[in-house]
């Protein structure tokens, strides 16, 4: 049985059980608790995208809850809206406020981001408390129209069934979204932002999107509370609510099922402790610390560990297809064109100038090597070419277009792929998903298509192509292993596979042989030559001169940020300026006298 079938069978059983529960009781308190579990899940499910998947902490979502609640309250009581359009408008308005928060908030990270969101929550709380003419403060707004069917207002049981239907719909849509290209992109942003940009993912846009998703679900949760109570006041909008929403996600764990676990456990605990508010607040704080430090994977992670031990069949990986055709890159140019031309590149950090008026020309179909002593500015030059570091001056033309100053994800989408001197894998994801992330820009499924599951064929095609790339680099047998668990040499090859998946016209390799043993280095030589034979142009930084001489058609030498020589490997190897840069002038003269020639190490 496939994982998809297991999931939908389990979901059907859960829905059937949950739908029957309201029939077994007329106790309004029990029905109210069930309703609150559903509302809290809806708020936490969107928050999970922001916190659990994208890694952005927010402590101001009570403000977004208030936006949804007061939107539906004002529309139904003062402007006479039908409660159904008012409910939908609450989600839209909260989403707009999510953008308003995200744009300034995401200029900062970590604790500073949390402080900005706290500020938003406090501002909203003060507005609804103090602006009496509009929001009525603690007195509140009465007469909020509840949802109804056929002219009959929802009963307590109807509210439970409605929130169950809404929660299940939200779960299915978010699961489809997060299991595809958008979910991988969110996790990539969380793990390594620079690497995410290098495969064509706009980090800023995905952070904003995560904020909007969390805002919409939080706004809908606020609307549900206002319409079910037929009343809303400022007492609902407190900092404790923001903590509670965040705690549900952290305690449940960064999983599609985590928000449900968190909502069930914490809603029941909240109902139990409601008689003792001081104990309630202390418990929230203690659980928050516990979730952050003692159980970082939450209840979902704990249950996953138990399942691996006692019921491994529940977590069995999806079967992969058999033999596939060899992988070939798309859209490569011919060997006559000048693929990249950079003129007068200059970058200074105070008095340090790692790139000093460098000109560079890269011809399609060749392997170009960039060498020089430590500190010569090689990696800085690669970072400038790939958009990670903007030049202070100079021009870069790539593929016939000016890419100077463009963000890294746009340069990556133009056909420039790269690896990094210090590995930047998405270590918590599988090998297969790492390579799928390289294919991100080539998967045509959009946001709304992902929500409704219309990208199934595109996902299968991406999986097959990722397997073809892994097969080409001898990594197919590692496809379902976690990237961070692989040996270092295999991780190096995986990063190269991910870069190839972007379908680069130009591939930048920053010391790909660093940390490899001699056998792995020799294998890398053959891999680079195969990549060149596929029509992919390579610009390589490397200190292993045997590797450089074996693969290079053209060598460029930097020293103290300046280009001092270029030409064929033989020409560069015998250039006096290169010899002096590596060995020093005095040492060079001594070796020439003793040996009658010099070999660049």
Same domain (yes/no): 216, 85: yes
Same domain (yes/no): 211, 345: no
If you search the block for the tokens 């449900």, which residue do you land on? 260
If DSSP codes are grouped into helix, strand and coil, which group holds residue 547? helix
Q: How many domains does the chain contain in total? A: 2
Q: What is the mean pLDDT of residues 298-313?
A: 81
pLDDT range class, residue 307, cuts 50, 70, 90: confident
- Cβ atoms of 145 and 230 closer than 8 Å: yes
Range in 131-135, 226-230, 317-321 the model is least confident about? 317-321
Which one is predicted more confidently, 311 or 161?
161
> Considering the domain boundaries, does residue 325 fall inside one?
no
Same domain (yes/no): 24, 170: yes
Pick the closest to residue 419 from 199, 587, 238 (CA basis): 199
Q: Where are the alpha helices (DSSP H) in 502-575?
A: 518-533, 545-551, 569-573
Q: What 8-state DSSP symbol labels residue 489?
A: H
Q: How far is CA 556 from CA 360, 547, 563, in A?
A: 8, 15, 7
> Considering the domain boundaries, does residue 254 fall inside one?
no
**The pLDDT of residue 57:** 86
Conformation bin of residue 344: beta by default, left when phi > 0, alpha when psi is -120 to 50 = left
pLDDT in tens, 34-46: 999 999 999 999 9
Question: Which range, 166-175, 287-296, 372-381, has the best average confidence (pLDDT)?
Answer: 166-175
**What is the Cα–Cα distance from 63 to 96, expressed in whole angstroms?**
13
**The pLDDT of residue 598:** 37
If DSSP codes are grouped into helix, strand and coil, which group holds residue 510? strand
Same domain (yes/no): 370, 233: no
**The pLDDT of residue 600:** 40
If DSSP codes are grouped into helix, strand and coil, which group holds residue 521? helix
pLDDT in tens, 131-146: 988 898 888 999 999 9
pLDDT in tens, 375-429: 899 999 999 999 999 999 999 999 889 999 999 999 999 999 999 999 999 999 9
> Considering the domain boundaries, does residue 381 fall inside one?
yes
> Considering the domain boundaries, does residue 272 fall inside one?
no
Q: What is the mean pLDDT of residues 487-500?
A: 95
CATH of the domain at 442: 3.40.50.300
- Cβ atoms of 49 and 214 closer than 8 Å: yes
**The pLDDT of residue 312:** 75
pLDDT in tens, 80-130: 999 999 999 999 999 999 998 888 767 777 777 888 889 888 999 899 999
**What is the Cα–Cα distance from 303 to 70, expressed in whole angstroms?**
38
Range of the domain at 84: 3-238
Same domain (yes/no): 344, 221: no
- Cβ atoms of 244 and 265 closer than 8 Å: no
Is a pLDDT exceeding 90 seen at residue 288? no
The CA-based angle 87-170-246, given to 5 degrees, is 90
> Considering the domain boundaries, does residue 485 fall inside one?
yes
**What is the Cα–Cα distance from 475 to 490, expressed in whole angstroms?**
8
Same domain (yes/no): 223, 364: no
**Pick from 205, 238, 271: which residue ends a domain?**
238
Which one is predicted more confidently, 363 or 455?
363
Same domain (yes/no): 233, 355: no
Phi, psi of 487 (to 5 degrees): -60, 155
Q: For residues 92, 98, 103 and 106, what is the CA-based torsion angle, rounded to 10 degrees?
A: -150
> Considering the domain boundaries, does residue 490 fall inside one?
yes
Question: Which pTM was predicted?
Answer: 0.90
pLDDT in tens, 53-85: 999 988 899 999 999 999 999 999 999 999 999
Is a pLDDT exceeding 60 seen at residue 1? no
> Considering the domain boundaries, does residue 286 fall inside one?
no
**Pick from 203, 238, 273: which residue ends a domain?**
238
Is a pLDDT exceeding 60 seen at residue 596? no
**Pick from 238, 272, 291: which residue ends a domain?**
238
Share of the chain above pLDDT 70, in %: 95
> Considering the domain boundaries, does residue 374 fall inside one?
yes
- Cβ atoms of 450 and 174 closer than 8 Å: no
């Amino acid at each position: 049985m496939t994982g998809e079938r297991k999931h939908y069978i389990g979901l059907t059983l859960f829905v059937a059980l949950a739908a029957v529960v309201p029939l077994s009781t007329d106790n309004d308190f029990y029905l109210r608790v069930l309703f609150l579990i559903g509302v809290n899940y809806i708020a936490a499910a969107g928050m999970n995208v922001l916190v659990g998947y994208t890694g952005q902490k927010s402590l101001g979502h009570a403000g977004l809850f208030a936006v949804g609640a007061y939107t539906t309250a004002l529309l139904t009581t003062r402007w006479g809206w039908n409660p159904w359009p008012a409910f939908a408008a609450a989600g839209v308005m909260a989403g707009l406020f999510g953008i308003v928060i995200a744009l300034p908030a995401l200029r900062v990270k970590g604790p500073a981001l949390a402080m900005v969101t706290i500020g938003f929550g406090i501002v909203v709380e003060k507005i609804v408390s103090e602006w009496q003419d509009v929001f009525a403060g603690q007195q509140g707004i009465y007469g909020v129209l509840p949802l109804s069917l056929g002219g009959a207002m929802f009963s307590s049981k109807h509210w439970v069934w409605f929130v169950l239907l809404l929660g299940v719909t939200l779960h299915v849509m978010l699961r489809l979204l997060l299991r595809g290209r958008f979910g991988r992109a969110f996790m990539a942003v969380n793990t390594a932002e620079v690497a995410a940009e290098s495969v064509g993912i706009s980090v800023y846009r995905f952070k904003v999107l995560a904020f909007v998703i969390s805002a919409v679900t939080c706004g809908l949760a606020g609307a549900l509370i206002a319409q079910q109570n037929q009343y809303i006041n400022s007492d609902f909008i407190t900092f404790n609510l923001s903590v509670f929403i965040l705690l549900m996600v952290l305690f449940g764990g960064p999983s599609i099922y985590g928000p449900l676990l968190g909502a069930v456990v914490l809603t029941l605990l909240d109902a139990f402790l409601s008689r003792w508010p001081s104990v309630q607040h202390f418990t929230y704080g203690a659980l928050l610390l516990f979730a952050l430090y003692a159980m970082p994977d939450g209840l979902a992670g704990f249950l996953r560990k138990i399942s691996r031990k006692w019921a491994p069949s529940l977590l069995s990986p999806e079967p992969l297809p058999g033999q596939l055709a060899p992988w070939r890159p798309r859209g490569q140019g011919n060997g006559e064109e000048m693929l990249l031309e950079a003129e007068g590149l200059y970058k200074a950090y105070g008095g340090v100038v790692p790139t000093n008026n460098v000109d560079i020309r890269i011809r399609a179909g060749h392997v170009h090597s960039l060498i020089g002593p430590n500190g010569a500015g090689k990696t800085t030059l690669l970072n400038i070419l790939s958009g990670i570091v903007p030049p202070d001056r100079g021009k870069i033309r790539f593929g016939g277009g000016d890419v100077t100053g463009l963000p890294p994800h746009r340069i990556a989408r133009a056909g420039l792929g790269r690896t990094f001197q210090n590995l930047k894998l998405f270590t918590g994801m599988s090998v297969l998903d790492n390579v799928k992330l390289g294919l991100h820009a080539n998967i045509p499924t959009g946001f709304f298509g992902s929500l409704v599951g219309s990208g199934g064929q595109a996902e299968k095609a991406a999986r097959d192509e990722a397997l073809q790339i892994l097969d080409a680099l001898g990594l197919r047998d590692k496809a379902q292993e976690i990237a961070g668990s692989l040996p270092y040499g295999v991780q190096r090859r995986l990063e190269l596979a991910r870069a190839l998946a972007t379908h680069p016209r130009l591939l930048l390799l920053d010391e790909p042989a660093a940390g490899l043993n001699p056998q792995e280095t020799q294998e890398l030589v053959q891999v680079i030559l195969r990549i060149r034979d596929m029509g992919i142009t390579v610009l390589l930084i490397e200190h292993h001169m045997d590797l450089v001489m074996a693969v290079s058609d053209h060598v460029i030498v930097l020293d103290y940020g300046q280009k001092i020589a270029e030409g064929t490997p033989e020409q560069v190897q015998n250039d006096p300026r290169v010899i002096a840069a590596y060995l020093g002038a005095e040492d060079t003269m001594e070796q020439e006298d003793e040996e009658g020639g010099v070999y660049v190490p």
